[in-house]
Structure 1
Amino acid sequence: MKQKNNIIKLLLKTWLGILCFSLLCTFCAVWLSFQNTNSSYDNINLAYEGILLTWAIIGVIMFSAGTITLFLNYFPVIRYNNIYSFLSFFLVPLLLILWCGIETLSFRIVAIPFIICLSGAYLLFRKKIKNTANNAG
Protein backbone atom coordinates (compact mmCIF):
# COMPACT_ATOMS: atom_id res chain seq x y z
CA MET A 1 0.00 0.00 0.00
CA LYS A 2 2.86 2.36 0.82
CA GLN A 3 4.47 1.74 -2.58
CA LYS A 4 1.19 2.64 -4.33
CA ASN A 5 1.00 5.91 -2.40
CA ASN A 6 4.62 6.66 -3.28
CA ILE A 7 3.94 6.04 -6.98
CA ILE A 8 0.90 8.34 -6.92
CA LYS A 9 2.91 11.05 -5.14
CA LEU A 10 5.74 10.68 -7.65
CA LEU A 11 3.35 10.91 -10.60
CA LEU A 12 1.58 13.93 -9.12
CA LYS A 13 4.91 15.69 -8.45
CA THR A 14 6.03 14.88 -11.98
CA TRP A 15 2.85 16.25 -13.54
CA LEU A 16 2.84 19.42 -11.42
CA GLY A 17 6.55 19.90 -12.12
CA ILE A 18 5.94 19.67 -15.85
CA LEU A 19 3.14 22.23 -15.58
CA CYS A 20 5.11 24.70 -13.43
CA PHE A 21 8.38 24.51 -15.35
CA SER A 22 6.56 24.73 -18.68
CA LEU A 23 4.70 27.83 -17.54
CA LEU A 24 7.99 29.38 -16.41
CA CYS A 25 9.76 28.53 -19.67
CA THR A 26 6.83 29.80 -21.73
CA PHE A 27 6.74 33.05 -19.77
CA CYS A 28 10.48 33.48 -20.44
CA ALA A 29 10.02 32.68 -24.14
CA VAL A 30 7.28 35.30 -24.48
CA TRP A 31 9.36 37.84 -22.58
CA LEU A 32 12.43 37.14 -24.74
CA SER A 33 10.43 37.42 -27.95
CA PHE A 34 9.53 41.02 -27.06
CA GLN A 35 13.03 42.13 -26.07
CA ASN A 36 14.08 42.92 -29.64
CA THR A 37 11.07 45.06 -30.48
CA ASN A 38 11.99 48.73 -30.70
CA SER A 39 8.82 50.68 -31.21
CA SER A 40 7.31 53.94 -30.13
CA TYR A 41 4.06 52.06 -29.61
CA ASP A 42 4.92 50.55 -26.23
CA ASN A 43 1.27 50.27 -25.17
CA ILE A 44 0.45 48.23 -28.25
CA ASN A 45 3.45 45.97 -27.69
CA LEU A 46 2.47 45.51 -24.06
CA ALA A 47 -1.10 44.61 -25.04
CA TYR A 48 0.14 42.20 -27.72
CA GLU A 49 2.54 40.62 -25.23
CA GLY A 50 -0.32 40.15 -22.76
CA ILE A 51 -2.52 38.54 -25.39
CA LEU A 52 0.31 36.25 -26.50
CA LEU A 53 1.10 35.32 -22.91
CA THR A 54 -2.57 34.49 -22.26
CA TRP A 55 -2.75 32.22 -25.30
CA ALA A 56 0.59 30.65 -24.40
CA ILE A 57 -0.67 29.83 -20.90
CA ILE A 58 -3.80 28.27 -22.42
CA GLY A 59 -1.53 26.23 -24.72
CA VAL A 60 0.57 24.99 -21.80
CA ILE A 61 -2.58 24.01 -19.92
CA MET A 62 -3.80 22.10 -23.00
CA PHE A 63 -0.49 20.26 -23.27
CA SER A 64 -0.52 19.55 -19.54
CA ALA A 65 -4.03 18.16 -19.80
CA GLY A 66 -2.69 15.90 -22.54
CA THR A 67 -0.06 14.53 -20.20
CA ILE A 68 -2.69 13.27 -17.76
CA THR A 69 -2.00 9.93 -19.44
CA LEU A 70 1.27 9.76 -17.51
CA PHE A 71 -0.86 8.58 -14.58
CA LEU A 72 -1.16 5.30 -16.47
CA ASN A 73 2.30 4.65 -15.05
CA TYR A 74 0.51 3.77 -11.83
CA PHE A 75 0.05 0.30 -13.33
CA PRO A 76 3.24 -1.82 -13.19
CA VAL A 77 2.65 -3.15 -16.72
CA ILE A 78 3.08 0.35 -18.12
CA ARG A 79 5.56 1.65 -15.55
CA TYR A 80 8.17 -1.06 -16.16
CA ASN A 81 7.81 -1.14 -19.95
CA ASN A 82 9.93 1.61 -21.53
CA ILE A 83 7.81 1.94 -24.66
CA TYR A 84 4.46 2.12 -22.86
CA SER A 85 5.86 4.55 -20.32
CA PHE A 86 7.27 6.76 -23.08
CA LEU A 87 3.94 6.74 -24.92
CA SER A 88 2.05 7.60 -21.74
CA PHE A 89 4.18 10.74 -21.42
CA PHE A 90 4.57 11.84 -25.05
CA LEU A 91 1.76 10.48 -27.25
CA VAL A 92 -0.92 13.13 -26.71
CA PRO A 93 1.47 16.14 -26.72
CA LEU A 94 3.10 14.93 -29.94
CA LEU A 95 -0.32 14.43 -31.53
CA LEU A 96 -1.25 17.98 -30.48
CA ILE A 97 1.93 19.29 -32.09
CA LEU A 98 1.17 17.42 -35.31
CA TRP A 99 -2.40 18.72 -35.27
CA CYS A 100 -1.38 22.35 -34.67
CA GLY A 101 1.57 22.33 -37.02
CA ILE A 102 5.19 23.28 -36.50
CA GLU A 103 5.20 26.50 -38.50
CA THR A 104 3.17 28.52 -36.03
CA LEU A 105 4.38 30.91 -33.37
CA SER A 106 2.85 28.67 -30.73
CA PHE A 107 5.30 25.93 -31.69
CA ARG A 108 8.28 28.09 -30.76
CA ILE A 109 6.68 29.72 -27.73
CA VAL A 110 4.76 26.80 -26.20
CA ALA A 111 5.59 23.42 -27.71
CA ILE A 112 9.38 23.50 -27.66
CA PRO A 113 9.68 24.54 -23.98
CA PHE A 114 6.96 22.06 -23.05
CA ILE A 115 8.64 19.14 -24.83
CA ILE A 116 11.98 20.04 -23.21
CA CYS A 117 10.35 20.10 -19.75
CA LEU A 118 8.45 16.89 -20.50
CA SER A 119 11.65 15.16 -21.64
CA GLY A 120 13.46 16.17 -18.47
CA ALA A 121 10.56 14.99 -16.32
CA TYR A 122 10.42 11.69 -18.20
CA LEU A 123 14.13 11.06 -17.69
CA LEU A 124 13.89 11.91 -13.99
CA PHE A 125 10.85 9.66 -13.63
CA ARG A 126 12.60 6.73 -15.31
CA LYS A 127 15.64 7.24 -13.06
CA LYS A 128 13.43 7.24 -9.94
CA ILE A 129 11.61 4.10 -11.08
CA LYS A 130 14.92 2.36 -11.79
CA ASN A 131 16.23 3.37 -8.34
CA THR A 132 13.09 2.15 -6.55
CA ALA A 133 13.19 -1.13 -8.50
CA ASN A 134 16.84 -1.64 -7.55
CA ASN A 135 16.18 -0.82 -3.89
CA ALA A 136 13.17 -3.13 -3.72
CA GLY A 137 14.94 -6.00 -5.40
Structure 2
Amino acid sequence: MQCEICGGKAVTKAVVEGVPLDVCANCAGHGTEIKQPHARHVPEISESTINPDFSAMIKQARGKAGIERKALAEKLAVKESVLARIENGMRPDNATARKLEKALGIRLLGFSGDAVVQKQVLAEITLGDVVVIKKKRK
Protein backbone atom coordinates (compact mmCIF):
# COMPACT_ATOMS: atom_id res chain seq x y z
CA MET A 1 0.00 0.00 0.00
CA GLN A 2 1.39 3.42 -0.95
CA CYS A 3 1.13 6.75 0.82
CA GLU A 4 -1.42 8.83 -1.06
CA ILE A 5 0.54 12.04 -0.39
CA CYS A 6 4.23 11.24 -1.02
CA GLY A 7 4.16 7.73 -2.55
CA GLY A 8 6.08 6.09 0.30
CA LYS A 9 4.97 3.00 2.21
CA ALA A 10 1.63 3.72 3.90
CA VAL A 11 1.36 2.47 7.47
CA THR A 12 -1.75 4.19 8.81
CA LYS A 13 -4.89 6.12 7.90
CA ALA A 14 -5.32 9.82 8.54
CA VAL A 15 -7.91 12.48 7.77
CA VAL A 16 -6.18 15.21 5.77
CA GLU A 17 -8.40 18.24 4.98
CA GLY A 18 -11.54 16.16 5.56
CA VAL A 19 -10.50 13.21 3.38
CA PRO A 20 -9.44 9.84 4.86
CA LEU A 21 -6.15 8.77 3.24
CA ASP A 22 -3.61 5.95 3.57
CA VAL A 23 -0.42 7.76 4.63
CA CYS A 24 3.13 7.06 5.79
CA ALA A 25 4.42 8.00 9.25
CA ASN A 26 5.93 11.31 7.96
CA CYS A 27 2.72 12.46 6.24
CA ALA A 28 0.46 11.43 9.14
CA GLY A 29 1.36 14.74 10.82
CA HIS A 30 -0.45 16.69 8.07
CA GLY A 31 -3.81 15.49 9.35
CA THR A 32 -5.54 13.68 12.19
CA GLU A 33 -4.56 10.04 12.55
CA ILE A 34 -7.45 7.57 12.53
CA LYS A 35 -7.07 5.01 15.28
CA GLN A 36 -8.09 1.54 14.16
CA PRO A 37 -10.08 -0.25 16.86
CA HIS A 38 -8.62 -3.60 17.80
CA ALA A 39 -10.92 -6.43 16.91
CA ARG A 40 -11.87 -8.34 20.02
CA HIS A 41 -12.58 -12.00 19.68
CA VAL A 42 -15.18 -13.14 22.16
CA PRO A 43 -15.60 -16.89 22.03
CA GLU A 44 -19.26 -17.73 21.77
CA ILE A 45 -20.70 -21.00 22.93
CA SER A 46 -22.18 -22.60 19.87
CA GLU A 47 -25.80 -23.61 19.84
CA SER A 48 -24.78 -27.22 19.40
CA THR A 49 -23.64 -27.21 23.03
CA ILE A 50 -27.14 -26.58 24.35
CA ASN A 51 -28.46 -29.60 26.21
CA PRO A 52 -30.71 -31.51 23.78
CA ASP A 53 -33.38 -31.91 26.47
CA PHE A 54 -33.50 -28.16 27.20
CA SER A 55 -37.27 -27.72 26.72
CA ALA A 56 -38.18 -30.38 29.29
CA MET A 57 -35.57 -29.02 31.71
CA ILE A 58 -37.01 -25.50 31.44
CA LYS A 59 -40.60 -26.69 31.92
CA GLN A 60 -39.64 -28.84 34.90
CA ALA A 61 -37.57 -26.11 36.58
CA ARG A 62 -40.29 -23.50 36.05
CA GLY A 63 -42.91 -25.88 37.46
CA LYS A 64 -40.72 -26.78 40.44
CA ALA A 65 -40.13 -23.08 41.21
CA GLY A 66 -43.86 -22.37 40.87
CA ILE A 67 -43.31 -19.51 38.43
CA GLU A 68 -45.92 -18.79 35.79
CA ARG A 69 -44.76 -18.43 32.20
CA LYS A 70 -45.83 -14.78 32.08
CA ALA A 71 -43.88 -13.90 35.25
CA LEU A 72 -40.76 -15.69 34.00
CA ALA A 73 -41.00 -13.93 30.63
CA GLU A 74 -41.16 -10.54 32.37
CA LYS A 75 -38.20 -11.47 34.57
CA LEU A 76 -36.14 -12.50 31.52
CA ALA A 77 -37.30 -9.49 29.45
CA VAL A 78 -38.58 -11.71 26.63
CA LYS A 79 -42.05 -12.11 25.20
CA GLU A 80 -44.26 -14.79 26.68
CA SER A 81 -44.74 -16.29 23.20
CA VAL A 82 -40.96 -16.65 22.79
CA LEU A 83 -40.74 -18.46 26.13
CA ALA A 84 -43.62 -20.73 25.07
CA ARG A 85 -41.83 -21.59 21.81
CA ILE A 86 -38.61 -22.33 23.72
CA GLU A 87 -40.55 -24.66 26.04
CA ASN A 88 -41.98 -26.35 22.95
CA GLY A 89 -38.56 -27.07 21.44
CA MET A 90 -37.29 -23.90 19.71
CA ARG A 91 -33.59 -23.45 20.52
CA PRO A 92 -32.97 -20.24 22.47
CA ASP A 93 -30.15 -17.93 21.51
CA ASN A 94 -27.16 -17.97 23.84
CA ALA A 95 -28.15 -14.76 25.66
CA THR A 96 -31.64 -16.07 26.42
CA ALA A 97 -30.23 -19.45 27.45
CA ARG A 98 -27.91 -17.73 29.94
CA LYS A 99 -30.85 -15.73 31.33
CA LEU A 100 -32.84 -18.95 31.75
CA GLU A 101 -29.92 -20.64 33.51
CA LYS A 102 -29.60 -17.77 35.95
CA ALA A 103 -33.33 -17.37 36.62
CA LEU A 104 -34.12 -21.08 37.04
CA GLY A 105 -30.82 -22.33 38.45
CA ILE A 106 -30.34 -24.96 35.74
CA ARG A 107 -27.49 -25.78 33.34
CA LEU A 108 -28.40 -25.52 29.64
CA LEU A 109 -25.17 -24.41 27.95
CA GLY A 110 -21.89 -26.26 27.87
CA PHE A 111 -23.39 -29.66 27.14
CA SER A 112 -20.47 -31.68 25.83
CA GLY A 113 -22.47 -34.45 24.22
CA ASP A 114 -20.08 -37.03 25.66
CA ALA A 115 -22.96 -38.83 27.29
CA VAL A 116 -23.21 -42.49 26.54
CA VAL A 117 -25.09 -42.94 23.31
CA GLN A 118 -26.34 -46.38 22.50
CA LYS A 119 -26.07 -47.25 18.85
CA GLN A 120 -28.31 -49.83 17.38
CA VAL A 121 -26.49 -52.20 15.07
CA LEU A 122 -28.54 -52.63 11.95
CA ALA A 123 -28.38 -55.70 9.79
CA GLU A 124 -27.02 -55.16 6.33
CA ILE A 125 -29.65 -53.61 4.08
CA THR A 126 -30.19 -55.35 0.79
CA LEU A 127 -31.76 -54.06 -2.39
CA GLY A 128 -34.80 -56.23 -1.71
CA ASP A 129 -35.40 -54.36 1.56
CA VAL A 130 -35.58 -51.06 -0.26
CA VAL A 131 -37.30 -51.85 -3.55
CA VAL A 132 -40.93 -52.87 -3.76
CA ILE A 133 -41.42 -55.03 -6.82
CA LYS A 134 -44.65 -54.53 -8.70
CA LYS A 135 -45.88 -57.43 -10.78
CA LYS A 136 -46.98 -56.65 -14.30
CA ARG A 137 -50.55 -57.47 -15.12
CA LYS A 138 -51.12 -59.38 -18.34
TM-score (structure 2 length as normaliser): 0.25
Answer 1 or 2: which has greater strand percent.
2
Higher radius of gyration, 1 or 2: 2
Structure 1 or 2: more helix by fraction: 1
